[in-house]
Chain A
């Protein structure tokens, strides 16, 4: 088991610049064997946490993207019906053997949840946007997360060979049940502060200088304080930084025109675009450069 400082170090090596509390959360995950529930605005890097966690533990990342109508067949397991039918056709007349055969592992399709508990090395299981799934699925998930076993009527109970590191993310489109919340450790992922965002840009964008990163981070910070419909997340900041580096901008103050025109990387609705006029972008630029 890794200590908190080791975790912070290996997160940094994995290219994820974490705030100090996240390292605590991850060490608690190991200690208490609870799933981690991440909440926060869209685009603050919730999914990235899981990816970084996978590289901290040097293990595989298994991802289950939730959506409305997601059910057991897509999340847990399903029988390979086509193959079963083919087998029936091919062995016509040997009915007694065929039944044992078609309900064997060979005909079982593993879906993410089943896959996650059958690995020899515990993987990171990312259950993304759990708030998009239905209440029923949430209840089912709760059961799986407490027992880590799955019963398949035709095959019997399958116990976990290893307990995965579970990370759930939620955007808050629906209120999650108290039971699920209670089961998990909770971490709220906020927009990074200027310093951390600058370090993120520096780590992720090849060719970004330290001073440019800091300028970009400051400008985004003050843009977030404007009245916007859709506040830009870290992903947008990175896009914008990449665009600026690609256009060979060294200093924001030298290229106000380019800055204004590339703001489309950050502003994703027509309304926001109209609100940030040339005057506004010049004012923001004046503050940071």
Chain B
């Protein structure tokens, strides 16, 4: 291999790294194919190479749209918006709610993943998370009834997060077990029956039956990440992380002034990295909550894809709408027509003396199937029997 070829190879592998850092799923075979492409006569102009690489490396619409910018900035040294390149931690510093999320997540993640991202504003030693985990099993029992707001000790917060993730797991196992019981078929499958009975000379002795395939329950969570919810978002994010990890079908969205699709980012195994990726997506946090507009975006662009006949939409929000409450009502009505159930979780419902007077809640309530408090783990756990019946 001559010097030029070696240089090209090393640049190519650096490019693959950049793509991987930006969430592209790229394996070894793609790398080989890319090398084939660079050696082929097909590619002589940068424009053609870009187009070829774009087809090879992107796997979904979001990647398809981002690819050109990444390619140009890497190979042609053009400046693109920093969002797609930097790790986004500077962005997080501007948005108060997400910064606080990162800080609280620092308490329960391994030290090396967070040292370079999180300005450690809480002076907890990093090992605290480890301790919390090891003794969590006994202490977690007295946690459920404490309001998330009143958890101040990072130790306790870590436990609450663990418990939220565990709760999500428990829900899933119980929901699937229920499904497995229904195994008897209703209709006869004639073709299969004949096939099975060829060995009996065609006399139908064993019957083959057909049953309708059960669709697993799909959970779509829309989480309000605005300033007024900042006390609760961290715990719910952890809950969503658990749900996405364990449920066969679940999708998650985050909204404040606009809606962001976060399932992909949240599927990251490491919770701290997941939050880091989230902060990249959240722009313009902390300027009120536009629930109606976010729902409109959801209905228009995402609903057809993520909602099927056995879908439960779970909205977690305090209902303080700064936008148009009429719009919210209309969008809620449209959402009702699509999905099976809408659950609205309002952490403030657990407060003493709280009455749902925010105009957003007033507009949305007529369309909600279950309106429940969600300020403690116990109240989250109480949802499970309801979900199981869907």
Whether A69 and B213, one on each chain, are in contact in the complex, defined by CB atoms closer than 8 angstroms, is: yes
With A21-B54, A181-B59 in contact, is A81–B198 under 8 Å at CB?
A: yes
- Distance in Å: Cβ of B308 to nearest Cβ of chain A: 8
- Distance in Å: Cβ of A184 to nearest Cβ of chain B: 8
Whether A186 and B198, one on each chain, are in contact in the complex, defined by CB atoms closer than 8 angstroms, is: no
* In-complex Cβ contact of A21 among B25, B30, B51, B56 (8 A): B51
Most buried by B among A32, A173, A184, A187: A32
Q: Specify which chain A residues have a CB less than 8 angstroms from the CB of B59 in the assembled complex.
A: 37, 178, 181-182, 184, 186
Mark B78-103 against chain A: 1 for CB-CB distance below 8 A, else 0.
00000000000000000000000000
Q: Specify which chain B residues have a CB less than 8 angstroms from the CB of A188 in the assembled complex.
A: 61, 64-65
Interface positions of A from 173 to 209, Cβ below 8 Å from B: 173-175, 178, 181-182, 184-188
Q: Specify which chain B residues have a CB less than 8 angstroms from the CB of A187 in the assembled complex.
A: 55
Q: Specify which chain B residues have a CB less than 8 angstroms from the CB of A25 in the assembled complex.
A: 55
Q: Specify which chain A residues have a CB less than 8 angstroms from the CB of B174 in the assembled complex.
A: none
Q: Specify which chain A residues have a CB less than 8 angstroms from the CB of B195 in the assembled complex.
A: 79, 81
Whether B42 and A4, one on each chain, are in contact in the complex, defined by CB atoms closer than 8 angstroms, is: yes
Taking the complex as formed, is B46 at the interface, i.e. its CB lies under 8 A from any CB of chain A?
A: no
- Distance in Å: Cβ of A17 to nearest Cβ of chain B: 18
Taking the complex as formed, is A172 at the interface, i.e. its CB lies under 8 A from any CB of chain B?
A: yes
**Which interface class (under 10, 10 to 19, 20 to 34, 35 or more) fits A?**
35 or more
Q: Specify which chain B residues have a CB less than 8 angstroms from the CB of A172 in the assembled complex.
A: 304-305
Docked Cα-Cα span, A256 to B172, in Å, equals: 57
Q: Specify which chain B residues have a CB less than 8 angstroms from the CB of A39 in the assembled complex.
A: 60-61
Q: Specify which chain B residues have a CB less than 8 angstroms from the CB of A178 in the assembled complex.
A: 25, 59
Q: Specify which chain A residues have a CB less than 8 angstroms from the CB of B30 in the assembled complex.
A: 182
Interface positions of B from 29 to 56, Cβ below 8 Å from A: 30, 33, 36-37, 40, 42, 48, 51-52, 54-56
Whether B61 and A85, one on each chain, are in contact in the complex, defined by CB atoms closer than 8 angstroms, is: no
Docked Cα-Cα span, A36 to B25, in Å, equals: 17
Mark A160-179 against chain B: 1 for CB-CB distance below 8 A, else 0.
00000000000011110010
**Which interface class (under 10, 10 to 19, 20 to 34, 35 or more) fits B?**
20 to 34
Docked Cα-Cα span, A79 to B25, in Å, equals: 39
With A4-B42, A31-B40, A85-B194 in contact, is A185–B56 under 8 Å at CB?
A: yes
Q: Specify which chain A residues have a CB less than 8 angstroms from the CB of B33 in the assembled complex.
A: 32, 34
* In-complex Cβ contact of A182 among B25, B48, B65, B201 (8 A): B25
- Distance in Å: Cβ of A121 to nearest Cβ of chain B: 24
Q: Specify which chain B residues have a CB less than 8 angstroms from the CB of A21 in the assembled complex.
A: 51, 54-55
Docked Cα-Cα span, A31 to B258, in Å, equals: 42
Closest to B61 in A: A188
Q: Specify which chain B residues have a CB less than 8 angstroms from the CB of A186 in the assembled complex.
A: 54-55, 58-60, 63-64
Interface positions of B from 182 to 214, Cβ below 8 Å from A: 191, 194-195, 198, 201-202, 213
Q: Specify which chain A residues have a CB less than 8 angstroms from the CB of B61 in the assembled complex.
A: 39, 188
Q: Specify which chain B residues have a CB less than 8 angstroms from the CB of A20 in the assembled complex.
A: 51
Taking the complex as formed, is A6 at the interface, i.e. its CB lies under 8 A from any CB of chain B?
A: no
Q: Specify which chain A residues have a CB less than 8 angstroms from the CB of B304 in the assembled complex.
A: 172-173
Taking the complex as formed, is A65 at the interface, i.e. its CB lies under 8 A from any CB of chain B?
A: no
Closest to B306 in A: A175
- Distance in Å: Cβ of B365 to nearest Cβ of chain A: 24
Whether B55 and A185, one on each chain, are in contact in the complex, defined by CB atoms closer than 8 angstroms, is: yes
Q: Specify which chain B residues have a CB less than 8 angstroms from the CB of A82 in the assembled complex.
A: 194
Whether A24 and B27, one on each chain, are in contact in the complex, defined by CB atoms closer than 8 angstroms, is: no
Q: Specify which chain B residues have a CB less than 8 angstroms from the CB of A173 in the assembled complex.
A: 304-305, 308
Taking the complex as formed, is A28 at the interface, i.e. its CB lies under 8 A from any CB of chain B?
A: yes
Docked Cα-Cα span, A85 to B202, in Å, equals: 7
Taking the complex as formed, is A88 at the interface, i.e. its CB lies under 8 A from any CB of chain B?
A: yes
- Distance in Å: Cβ of A212 to nearest Cβ of chain B: 31
Mark B215-254 against chain A: 1 for CB-CB distance below 8 A, else 0.
0000000000000000000000000000000000000000
- Distance in Å: Cβ of B153 to nearest Cβ of chain A: 39
- Distance in Å: Cβ of B45 to nearest Cβ of chain A: 11
Whether A27 and B42, one on each chain, are in contact in the complex, defined by CB atoms closer than 8 angstroms, is: yes
Q: Specify which chain A residues have a CB less than 8 angstroms from the CB of B194 in the assembled complex.
A: 81-82, 85
Q: Specify which chain B residues have a CB less than 8 angstroms from the CB of A68 in the assembled complex.
A: 213
- Distance in Å: Cβ of B38 to nearest Cβ of chain A: 12
Docked Cα-Cα span, A257 to B286, in Å, equals: 49
Q: Specify which chain A residues have a CB less than 8 angstroms from the CB of B202 in the assembled complex.
A: 85, 88-89
Closest to B56 in A: A185
With A31-B40, A182-B30 in contact, is A88–B201 under 8 Å at CB?
A: yes
Most buried by A among B27, B60, B304: B60
Whether B25 and A181, one on each chain, are in contact in the complex, defined by CB atoms closer than 8 angstroms, is: yes
Mark A77-91 against chain B: 1 for CB-CB distance below 8 A, else 0.
001011011001100
Whether B201 and A24, one on each chain, are in contact in the complex, defined by CB atoms closer than 8 angstroms, is: no
Interface positions of A from 1 to 56, Cβ below 8 Å from B: 3-4, 20-21, 24-25, 27-28, 31-32, 34, 36-37, 39
Q: Specify which chain B residues have a CB less than 8 angstroms from the CB of A4 in the assembled complex.
A: 42, 48
Closest to B24 in A: A182
- Distance in Å: Cβ of A139 to nearest Cβ of chain B: 14
Docked Cα-Cα span, A84 to B304, in Å, equals: 45
Whether A84 and B198, one on each chain, are in contact in the complex, defined by CB atoms closer than 8 angstroms, is: yes
Q: Specify which chain B residues have a CB less than 8 angstroms from the CB of A175 in the assembled complex.
A: 305
- Distance in Å: Cβ of B22 to nearest Cβ of chain A: 15
- Distance in Å: Cβ of B62 to nearest Cβ of chain A: 10
Whether B56 and A28, one on each chain, are in contact in the complex, defined by CB atoms closer than 8 angstroms, is: yes
A-B contact pairs, 12 of them (CB 8 A): A4-B42, A24-B51, A24-B55, A39-B60, A73-B191, A79-B195, A88-B198, A172-B304, A172-B305, A182-B59, A185-B56, A186-B60
- Which residues of A come within 8 Å of B, CB atoms? 3-4, 20-21, 24-25, 27-28, 31-32, 34, 36-37, 39, 68-69, 73, 79, 81-82, 84-85, 88-89, 134, 172-175, 178, 181-182, 184-188
- Contacts A3-B42, A85-B202, A178-B59 supplied; 5 other A-B pairs, CB < 8 Å: A21-B51, A81-B191, A186-B58, A186-B64, A188-B61
Nearest 4 A/B pairs, CB to CB: A181-B59, A185-B55, A24-B51, A188-B64
